[in-house]
Amino acid sequence: MLSSGRVKFNPRARLNTSQVRRRGPSSSGGRVGLGARPGGMILPGGVGGLLLLVVVVVFMQLSGGSGGTDGSPGYDDTQIAGADLSQCETGADATASQDCRIVATVNSVQAYWDDALPEQAGVAYEGSVTNLFSGSVDTGCGAATSDVGPFYCPSDDSVYLDTSFFDAMLEGQLGARGGDFAESYVVAHEYGHHVQDLLGTMERVRSEQGATSDAVRLELQADCYAGMWARHATTVEDEFGEVFILELSEGDVAEAIDAAESVGDDRIQEQTQGQSNPETWTHGSAADRKQWFLTGMRTGDLAACDTFSASQL
């Protein structure tokens, strides 16, 4: 069995910390309440939290979603925690620090889509910010807790991530192998949702549960988009022409696949309920998630990731 390892970041690569914010706790306590969609939806990333066993596309009104200082509902600059990311300057810092590794991955994923999206879809890529938080956070979709897992909020075009998820949930409760590229897969998956938002794909979601539901198709497509980035990860460059990642090993790719499989609906349901019920799936099976990640990695093609037209998932 391949052990978890360290991604080989280029020490000469320059990191752009403006793409990642560190956020403080939600002032509302972060209680999650289900209800009508006010102006956005939280899209859990299919990678954790018992909440994710129930639904993936959650049209919700979450408590405490007050207006933010940047004009986005729920965003408040006063929530940015005192600890900043100024220490994240190069790929060497990404090797030494989890926070900097997330910055490097976000930079790489966005640099990839900045080229790939207009090239393959004729749509300009618009950047998204990743918000690192602890415990709870206010978002443009309302307040959320770490229990939701990593998620994307279309209302403020942002990704939200509590980094304790990797140890406590992904490797802990879900039993994934972990490793640097498992974390990178999670980040790339969330940015897959951002790409779907830019392409208008989220509007196609009508059915929210079931093995072939629109919700599952949305999640598997985000996995495929993550695979597209992984295919090109060693060629994506910073603004000075330095690649972010020098090389990916078979072990790195195995970590991403292992993470994708560990968050399959069947795996989670069998682990928590003792049996799997495809009628309640919201993210797809372990085999499906692996297949679509590898489809993206093998083809690097948006058209190949069209899960909504696929007769079989």
Is 92 contained in some domain? yes
Asked whether the beta carbons of 255 and 179 are under 8 A apart, the reply is yes
**Containing H/E element for 139?**
strand 136-139
Provide the number of structural domains found in the chain.
1
| Single pTM value for the model | 0.85
Residue at 310 is within a domain: no
Helices marked H in the chain — which ranges?
Answer: 91-96, 98-121, 164-165, 180-199, 214-232, 250-262, 265-273, 286-299
Q: Is residue 2 part of a domain?
A: no
Q: What is the DSSP letter of 4?
A: P
Asked if residue 118 is part of any domain, the answer here is yes
Mean pLDDT, the chain, integer: 82
3-state secondary structure of 302: coil
- DSSP for 8-49, written as a single string: EE-TTPBP-GGGEEEB---TT---------SS--BEE-SS--
What pLDDT is stored for residue 26 in this prediction?
Answer: 52
271: phi then psi, degrees, rounded to nearest 5: -75, -40
21 in Cβ contact with 41 (< 8 Å): no
pLDDT tens digit string along 156-173? 999 999 888 887 767 777
Please list, in sequence order, all residues whose beta carbon lies within 8 angstroms of the beta carbon of residue 200, skipping any fewer than 6 positions away. Answer: none
Is residue 103 a part of any domain in this protein? yes
Residues 6 or more apart whose CB falls under 8 angstroms from that of 133 comprise 22, 23, 24, 25, 146, 160, 161, 162
Q: Which strands sit side by side in the sheet containing 43-44, from one edge to the other?
A: 20-22, 129-132, 158-161, 151-153, 43-44
| Domain presence at residue 313 | no
Question: Can you tell me the distance from the alpha carbon of 5 to that of 7, in angstroms, rounded to the nearest whole number?
Answer: 7
Query: What is the pLDDT at residue 40?
Result: 52
Which pLDDT does position 165 carry in this prediction?
83
311 lies in a domain? Answer: no
Judge whether 312 lies within some domain: no
Segments of the chain with pLDDT less than 50: 1-3, 27-39, 46-82
Residue ranges making up the domain that contains 70: 8-305
